[in-house]
Amino acid sequence: MNQFKDQLGRLITLSKKPKRIISLVPSQTELLFYLGLDCEVVGVTKFCVHPREKVASIQKIGGTKNIKLSAIENLSPDLIIANKEENRKEDIAFLEKKYPVWVSDVKSLPDAFQMIESLGELTGRKNKALELTDKIKKKKSSLKRKTLGKAVYFIWKKPWMVAGKDTFINTMLEVAGFENVIEQERYPEVKLSDLKTLDIDYILLSSEPYPFKGKHVEELKDHFPISKIKLVNGEFFSWYGNRLLGVFDYFCAEFYNYHQVI
């Protein structure tokens, strides 16, 4: 028997290396495949879209917040990977009565590195996970970071919602060189009229969870004629697995007008 501590400080016990893994977290699903667990992953959510060619044939067990518990039972997992923010507390409480459930809680890059290395150890891919975090750290250290100014990062419309403090998105905004003007924590609702009183250099419209498009850029130009309004790839601001390997190149190309070489 081996015991492992998740990022909520909970202990889970595994009798052997897991052979039937269900992931309830898109970015961690991608990470599991990166670690070489193609045969072990037996169930994922409908939002687990990467790696596309591999998840296409994997059993879907619903969404991150509307999990089909019967589908999970049919798959007989020996490990479930979940996340405090993306999955419902009551679903995790139900599942952990029957299965080992390892829960992540990622708000910073150190949290992300700990998550990656912990999942590597949990699944017998420790060396591969350590190699990954080392590569990410080297990419970050070579980033020629610039100060980009004050920003608001929109994640939803009707109602308008933005990323606040105490989120991984906020961490990545800071890494990119932005100052998040939203002082509230988590994902508060906002009024455009209130944001007009702030000195905003950039308005960033995420590709997820709300799929912002060009028409929304035009809509917001009427309210914020001076601010730079950009559509951004939400995966590079909110996914905290191996997707981090590409995030610094993305920042360079999108905001710094140069390509990182490492």
- Strand-pairing partners, residue 21, are 41, 79
Q: What is the pLDDT of residues 76-134, one digit of tens each?
A: 999 999 999 999 999 999 999 999 999 999 999 999 999 999 999 999 999 999 999 99
For the domain bounded by 149-256, which CATH number is listed? 3.40.50.1980
pLDDT at 213 over 80: yes
CA distance 66 to 45: 9
pTM: 0.94
| pLDDT of amino acid 144 | 87
Q: How many CA atoms lie within 13 A of 151 on its CB side?
A: 31
pLDDT at 28 over 80: yes
Both structure tokens of 75: 């798959």
Sole residue written with tokens 């009229």: 193
| Total residue length of the chain | 262
Q: What is the pLDDT of residues 145-164, one digit of tens each?
A: 899 999 999 999 999 999 99
CA distance 214 to 229: 10
DSSP labels, 224-235: -SSSEEEEE-TH
> Percent of the chain, pLDDT > 70?
98
CA distance 238 to 233: 9
What Rg, from alpha-carbon coordinates, does the chain have?
A: 19
- Residue from 94, 92, 91, 112 nearest 102 by CA: 92
Q: In one letter, which amino acid is 172?
A: M
Residues 6+ apart with CB under 8 A from 104: 6, 7, 25, 28, 81, 82, 83, 84, 115
So where are the chain's domains? 2-108, 149-256
CA distance 122 to 106: 17
Residue 1: which pLDDT band, with cuts at 50, 70 and 90?
A: confident
CA distance 78 to 37: 14
Same fold, 2-108 and 149-256: yes
Give me the helix-helix angle, 244-251 and 168-176, nearest 10°: 40
| pLDDT of amino acid 97 | 95
Structural element, H or E, at residue 196: none
Exposure b/e, 10-20, CB count within 10 A at least 16 = b: eebebeeebeb
CATH 3.40.390.30 fits 2-108, yes or no: no
DSSP labels, 28-50: HHHHHHHTT-TTTEEEE-TT--S
Both structure tokens of 256: 């710094």
